[in-house]
Structure 1
């Protein structure tokens, strides 16, 4: 196969994939799994070394990434981990846009910035009948 003939290269790649499809799929799944494990371990180590910027909480289990500027946010760090196409370097670049905060401080900051809208509290009598009936049934079954 000539190295410069793109059509022949494409056809050879198709034949190879068709012949080795199951092996290639299994290899890709294993690669994604290993990448996800590596990224999660790196994130855990990062959180263990960086306490909450507001209160100093250092337990990695309760720490989160808070984007400084939501306009520059590409995605949530948790959603990014393990995506095919997102390597550790790209993940680290996204984390550089974040501060580490504990869950409570993160929620408080989000509310203070106005990114969270408090739902109006509707008195029980003014709720639609379907919601009142659901609440009644739920309480009756307890």
Structure 2
């Protein structure tokens, strides 16, 4: 076979070879080979009154719009009381990475004190391949 014939044959089959080599990649999970850090990420918000003092809520809810599920009790693993004393509340954490991998959802936070809702805030949260992230929403809330 002459070199020109070989080149013609090679370039004719090149797109087919490229397509075959890419077919394996398409079947892999988008996050399959990514190395993640070992840290456990929690998204928190800070609630303070008008003079800058932390607000301790009696209770709160964190409802995911996609599932209409209140995840506040699942976030309680992180000693909800000690966070609340400082006005810091966990709204989402790495427990939800797999469920929200490479997508996002709205989260509605509501805080109750003395049997009244004193705070209501909406957040957009999601996750990449490794950790949760805050897409939108104000982490610092001031109660008048």
- TM (norm. structure 1) is 0.28
Give 1 or 2: higher strand fraction: 2
Between Structure 1 and Structure 2, which shows a larger proportion of helix residues? 1
Q: Larger RCO: Structure 1 or Structure 2 (Cα < 8 Å, ≥ 6 residues apart)? A: 2
TM-score by length of 2: 0.28
